[in-house]
């Protein structure tokens, strides 16, 4: 009985850690979104600033809804804290549209969804795709000369794992890192670091989540694999 109790306490502790990381990710995303508004507001373009703020409020509401969905209680199984893929893609779409609004004609967006996938029924941990998409836009596509392309491809593998591919034709990780080292900005992005911690915790609770990053001067491709076997 003591062992069972300790296992339950350990599981509960991991759940609270997951919730804490998601709580950290929300301000991270909101900070980045608000930072993009600064130049518009400073330029005193009231009409555009108002348009962007309306879009931003919708986006932040999506972030917060995802956090509420991921809230844990003693009686709640971790799978019940997942978000339908449809809702996840809606939040992602709002984020990408906002970036395209702030940075017009900088990149196109293409989504490819396997016909076998029913996004209303399939669920995944919330805000799992978001950090990788943000990195593709911020560090890859926006640093590129000329217009780029962001592609998201979602399908089932042969062994029925959910595969999410996030691909861009930006400048690549090596050049992006070099540019960041030259930057005088005091703020350091924590999105990737927090996401890696979150994936490790999820894997410790019965999930099987892997991600692989392939990058060159021609762009970056992130392959995220998720197996739904959490209890």
pLDDT in tens, 127-179: 889 889 988 998 899 999 999 999 999 999 988 899 999 999 999 988 988 87
Average of pLDDT values for 42-68?
Answer: 72
pLDDT of residue 178: 85
Give the β-pairing of 219-227 and 208-216.
antiparallel
φ, ψ at 220 (rounded to 5°): -135, 140
Mean pLDDT on 188-205: 78
pLDDT given for residue 142 in this prediction: 92
* Cβ(110)–Cβ(150) below 8 Å: yes
Residue at token pair 């089932």:
156
Comparing CA positions, the residue from 40, 75, 37 lying closest to residue 56 is 37
| Digit-coded pLDDT (tens) for 17-51 | 666 666 555 565 666 667 666 666 766 667 777 77
What's the gap between Cα 59 and its chain centre?
13
pLDDT of residue 4: 72
Residue 183's SS3 state is coil
Q: Is 195 exposed, middle or buried (0-12, 13-18, 19+ CB in 10 A)?
A: buried
- How many alpha carbons fall within 13 Å on the CB side of residue 17? 17
Q: Is the pTM of this model over 0.85?
A: no
Contact (CB, 8 A) for 156 and 115:
no
- What DSSP character marks residue 116? T
């Amino acid at each position: 009985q003591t062992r069972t109790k300790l296992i339950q306490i350990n599981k509960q502790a991991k759940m609270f850690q997951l919730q804490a990381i998601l709580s950290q990710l929300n301000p991270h995303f909101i900070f980045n979104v608000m930072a993009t508004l600064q130049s518009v507001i400073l330029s005193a373009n009231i009409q555009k600033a108002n348009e962007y703020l309306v879009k931003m409020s919708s986006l932040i509401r999506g972030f917060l809804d995802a956090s509420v969905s991921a809230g844990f209680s003693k009686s709640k199984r971790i799978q019940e804290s997942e978000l339908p893929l449809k809702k996840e893609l809606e939040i992602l779409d709002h984020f990408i549209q906002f970036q395209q609004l702030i940075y017009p004609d900088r990149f196109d967006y293409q989504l490819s969804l396997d016909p076998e996938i029913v996004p209303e029924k399939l669920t995944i941990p919330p805000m799992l795709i978001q950090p990788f998409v943000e990195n593709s836009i911020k560090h890859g596509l926006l640093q590129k000369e000329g217009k780029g392309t962001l592609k998201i491809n979602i399908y089932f593998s042969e062994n029925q794992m959910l595969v999410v591919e996030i691909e861009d034709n930006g400048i690549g990780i090596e050049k992006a890192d070099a540019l960041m080292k030259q930057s005088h900005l005091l703020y350091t992005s924590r999105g990737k670091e927090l996401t890696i911690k979150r994936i490790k915790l999820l894997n410790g609770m019965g999930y099987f989540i892997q991600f692989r990053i392939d990058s060159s001067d021609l762009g970056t491709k992130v392959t995220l694999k998720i197996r739904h076997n959490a209890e």
